[in-house]
A and B are shown apart, each in its own frame.
Chain A
Amino acid sequence: MKILIKGGTVVDPSAGTLRELDVLVEDERVIKVEAGITARGATVLDTAGMLVSPGLIDMHVHLREPGYEYKETIATGTAAAVRGGFTAVAAMPNTNPVADTRAVIEYVKKQASVAANARVYPVGAVTRGLEGNELAEMGEMREAGAVAFSNDGRPVVSAGVMRRAMQYARMFGTPIISHCEDDTLVDGGMMNEGLTASVLGLKGIPAAAEEVMVARDLLLAEAIGCALHVAHVSTAGSVRLIREAKRRGVPVTAEVTPHHFVLTEEAIAGYDTNAKVNPPLRSKADVQAVLEGLADGTIDVIASDHAPHADYEKAVEFDKAPFGLLGLETTLGLVFTYIVEPGVLSAPQALARLTVNPARVLGLAEPAINPGAMADITVIDPNHEAQVNPDRFLSKSRNTPFGGFWLRGQPVATIVAGKIFKFDQEGR
């Protein structure tokens, strides 16, 4: 089976270039990239005015399976991924059972292949049961296909445990993804510490809760030489610490979520539990700082931290609601609307943070549209504006604070290993 992607602009995020070329896909590979291709019998995808990008990778999602299938399954989560333009996702291990053994990693991979939507790269737990005491069997999980290790959502409290985890992960050349948060500083906090929290009467989470652990993990990574990836950076202080560490040569990378560069703590006024997320939405100054971090390369990756929760779990008192919000089906639009359109980054630069950069962090093959490359491709209409309608999400959950937002820049088709998923203007 052949697909001819015709008339579009091919993005090379590594080189930062845009070229008007046609792309011919046969079965699961790209076989030809040049101007003016004609191919008899091929399905033609008219991409005039559109960007043809290597497939997007969201390196931070929660697919909830096994254990929380009422929030999301691997099938629904990967369908949402494809709908959002992602050809691959990295799935966090805070499932039930926790992805801390070969068996769970293999289960996740198997369910992903049955679903046959986006690729799923499992992330294994750093410690057994995310408890933060004993190391999980990283070697076995690595063999089974884990691409990184993380205790996302349950930070490794003990510096000693984190140090040993890094020593182990270094042996496999696998990064540790650190959710940086000092629980004694969070201390039951619900949102960013500041005027909004004071007015709402919600307990604040100081910026230092994140920054002290970023500092700790940077020092440990520097000492051990383990690749550290700081998940969902949210504060100006974290950006500064990572920038300085990179200058010193610490093997660190970092990611930011769309909600942390689009929204501030003020989104919570009115107690919107869909804006309750961890780390919390921060101040305007923090948003400015993460945008600068994205612009100067301090922050390498944009990832959604897609965290589905059922409606009834969010329709409760703010204190009782779980942290987390959806991201897979809004990330691309938010990146184009809030990063590309205002000129924080060019389209190829922004797409690098969604393709080649996460691939490098996770040690995956370099995403590119070259003859012979795997046909993982995302076609984007950078000018199409659409309103976010959570009722149309393919995710099982609806917990987004972006409902009603008008976003410019929408995925039009997602091709995973030559299998094409196409969307009309109304969404599927």
Chain B
Amino acid sequence: MSIKHLLGLQHLSVNTITQILDTAGPMKQIISRNLKKVPTLRGKAVATVFYEPSTRTRMSFELAAKYLSADTVGLAAASSSVVKGETLIDTARTVAAMGADVIVLRHPMAGAAELMTRYTDVHIVNAGDGMHEHPTQALLDMFTILELKNTISGLKVAILGDILHSRVARSNLWGLTKLGAEVHVAGPPTLLPVGLQQLGAHVHDCPEAALEGADVVIALRLQLERQRQGLIPSLREYTRLYGLNAERLALARDDAVVLHPGPMNRGVEITADVADGSRSLIAEQVTNGVAVRMACLYLLTVGDGGREDIN
């Protein structure tokens, strides 16, 4: 892989995406072993710097690093100098000066990961920046789809819910369309960003159109504060109009699979029977998340000698 940082899927080539997905397979084998450790990244240090609470993504990255024998250290915004007013750039420089090889950054503001790349020399992995991108989530979604469908090209993928605020939707849109899927997004008009059609997405304000004949359905988490912000009238109505339930899922193909980036609000964006049903790959996504993150850490830190800095 010829990239130094993983900021998003917008600027990744099909080759690089494929390389990550191909590498995730062997990585997944390691997770399923008794002895879940390989010495590959011995002596490397991975710092997770999280400005948003996110137990699962952080744990997933830390385990990925540990399975590869890297040392990990975590910085949580609430308990750090961040509350004392340290800027993001100073935090990045400090973490880099302590010898971290990789910074995994979760931040509520778009572009935060890219900002870090301009001021430090370490590898930056974007673990979600505002409404911008969450590349490893999309990669693990694609890996999960590939495991079951063996291809992404030609699939119809429906992404349902709060597209406007979703970095997962954006990263998936880039990645899936690059690999040849037909992506349909659906959500309330107040939660649809402007201009997605120009990126090759099919945009609907009713979920049925997106679900019709879909091979893959990705239900997005609805932040409960969207009602308070006045973006939807009520959670109850949202569930009725946009929630993924068995009846709606029946519009998709018989072999359609269901994904959700988690954490789920059962009974809001997805009903419990669908979330826990036979077509749900939600549990598998979590395992695959570790594998994909192992692949990313491996590909970013190994083979440094010949990479070009494209980001």
Asked whether A195 is an interface residue with its Cβ less than 8 Å from the other chain, the reply is yes
Q: B87 — which chain A residues lie within 8 A by C-beta? A: 312, 315-316
Distance of A195 Cα from B112 Cα, bound (Å):
20
Judged by a CB distance under 8 angstroms, whether B267 is at the interface is no
- Is B107 within 8 A of A317, CB to CB? yes
B111 is contacted by which of A193, A195, A271, A312 (Cβ under 8 Å)? A271
**CA A317 – CA B167 in complex, angstroms?**
17
B129 within 8 A of A: yes
The reply on A428 being an interface residue by CB < 8 A is no
Q: How far is the CA of A317 from the CA of B131 in the complex (A)?
A: 13
| A202: interface (CB < 8 Å) | yes
Also in contact, A200 and B132, with CB within 8 A (given A271-B111, A318-B110): yes
Report Cα–Cα, A319/B88, bound state, in Å.
Answer: 12
B109 at the interface (CB under 8 A from A): yes
Given A201-B129, A201-B167, the answer on whether A195 and B195 have CB atoms closer than 8 Å is yes
The residue among A193, A204, A315 with the most chain B CB atoms within 10 A of its own CB is: A315
Contacts of A271 in B (CB 8 A): 110-111, 114-115
Any A CB within 8 A of the CB of B98: no
A315 to B133, CA, bound (A): 21
Looking at A194, A200, A315, A317, which has the most chain B CB atoms within 10 Å of its CB?
Answer: A317
Residue B73 at the chain A interface, CB threshold 8 Å: no
Q: Is A114 an interface residue (CB 8 A)?
A: no
Q: Say yes or no: B170 contacts A320, CB within 8 Å.
A: no
Contact check, B195 vs A320: say whether CB atoms are below 8 A apart. no
Q: Is the CB of A201 within 8 A of B194?
A: no
CA distance A316 to B110 in the complex (A): 11
Asked whether any CB of chain B lies closer than 8 Å to the CB of A197, the reply is yes
A270 interface residue per 8 A CB criterion: yes
- Provided the pairs A201-B170, A271-B115 are in contact, do residues A194 and B194 lie with their beta carbons within 8 angstroms? yes
Does any Cβ of A come within 8 Å of B193's Cβ?
Answer: yes
Chain A CB within 10 Å — which of B87, B133, B195, B199 has the most? B195
A202 near B131 with CB under 8 A, answer yes
B115 contact from A197, A198, A203, A317, Cβ within 8 A: A317
Chain B residue nearest to A198 in the complex (CB) = B193
B109 engages A320 (CB within 8 Å): yes
Cβ-closest chain A residue relative to B197: A195
Q: Is A199 an interface residue (CB 8 A)?
A: yes
Residues on the A chain within 8 Å of B109, using CB: 317-320
Q: Which residues from chain A contact B199 at a C-beta distance below 8 Å?
A: 195, 199
Answer yes or no: B89 CB below 8 A from chain A CBs.
yes
Interface string of B55-68 (1 = CB under 8 A from A): 00000000000000
Closest to A320 in B: B109
Q: For chain A, give the interface size range.
A: 20 to 34
Distance from B51 Cβ to chain A, minimum over Cβ atoms (Å): 9
Chain B residues within an 8 Å CB radius of A312: 87
**Binary B-proximity of A272-315 (CB < 8 A = 1, otherwise 0):** 00000000000000000000000000000000000000001001
On whether the beta carbons of B195 and A198 are closer than 8 Å, the reply is yes
Which residues in chain A, 124-148, are within 8 Å of chain B measured between CB atoms? none
Q: Is the CB of B198 within 8 A of A195?
A: yes
Set of chain B residues within 8 Å of A195, measured between Cβ atoms = 194-196, 198-199
> When chains A and B are docked, how far (Å) is the Cα of A203 from the Cα of B195?
13
Contact B111 A317 (CB under 8 A): yes
In the complex, whether B151 has a CB less than 8 A from a CB of chain A is no
**Binary CB contact string for chain A from 97 to 122 against chain B (1 if under 8 A, 0 otherwise):** 00000000000000000000000000
B residues 119-140 in Cβ contact with A at 8 Å:
119, 129-133
Cβ of A13 to closest chain B Cβ, rounded Å: 41
The reply on B94 being an interface residue by CB < 8 A is: no
Chain B residues numbered 4-61 whose CB sits less than 8 Å from any CB in chain A: 10
Considering the complex, give the chain A residue whose CB is closest to the CB of B112: A317
In the complex, chain A residues whose CB is within 8 Å of the CB of B107: 317
Q: How far is the CB of B220 from chain A (nearest CB, A)?
A: 14
Asked if B88 and A198 sit within 8 Å, CB to CB, the answer is no
Which of A198, A203, A317, A319 interacts with B196 by CB under 8 Å? A198
Bound complex: CA A203 to CA B194 (Å):
11
Q: Is the CB of A204 within 8 A of B194?
A: yes
Assembly CA distance A203 to B164 (angstroms): 9
Write out the residue numbers on chain B whose beta carbons fall within 8 Å of the beta carbon of A193.
194
Looking at B87, B167, B193, B198, the one whose CB has the most chain A CB atoms below 10 A away is B193
User: For B10, what are the chain A residues with a Cβ–Cβ distance below 8 Å?
Assistant: 199
**Separation of A202 and B130 alpha carbons in the complex (Å):** 8
Is the pair A197, B111 in contact by a Cβ cutoff of 8 Å? no
Which of B88, B110, B196 has the most chain A CB atoms inside 10 A of its CB?
A: B110
Given the complex, which residues of B lie within 8 Å of A315, measured CB to CB? Answer: 87, 89, 119
Give the distance in Å from the alpha carbon of A316 to the alpha carbon of B88 in the complex.
7
A200 / chain B contacts, CB cutoff of 8 Å: 110-111, 132
Shortest Cβ distance from A316 into B: residue: B87
B132, A201: Cβ atoms closer than 8 Å:
yes
Query: Which chain A residue has the least Cβ–Cβ distance from B116?
Result: A317
Q: B131 touching A201 by the CB < 8 A rule? A: yes
B69 to chain A, nearest CB (A): 33
> Which residues of the partner chain A approach B131 to less than 8 Å between Cβ atoms?
201-203
CB atoms of B114 and A270 under 8 A apart:
yes
Contact residues, A173-224 vs B (CB, 8 A)? 193-195, 197-204
What does the 1/0 interface line of B193-215 toward A look like (CB < 8 Å)?
Answer: 11110110000000000000000
A319 to chain B: closest residue by CB = B109
Subset of 28 A-B contacts with CB under 8 Å: A195-B194, A195-B196, A195-B198, A195-B199, A197-B193, A198-B170, A198-B195, A199-B10, A199-B195, A201-B129, A201-B133, A202-B130, A202-B131, A203-B131, A270-B114, A271-B111, A271-B114, A315-B89, A316-B88, A316-B89, A317-B107, A317-B109, A317-B115, A318-B109, A318-B110, A319-B109, A319-B130, A320-B109
B contact set with A: CB distance below 8 Å: 10, 87-89, 107, 109-112, 114-115, 119, 129-133, 167, 170, 193-196, 198-199
**Shortest 8 CB-CB contacts between residues of A and residues of B:** A201-B132, A195-B195, A271-B111, A201-B131, A201-B110, A198-B193, A317-B109, A319-B109
Q: A316-B87, A320-B109 are in contact. List 17 more A-B contacts (CB 8 A).
A: A195-B199, A197-B194, A198-B170, A198-B194, A199-B170, A199-B199, A200-B132, A201-B129, A202-B131, A271-B114, A315-B89, A315-B119, A316-B88, A317-B111, A317-B115, A318-B115, A319-B130
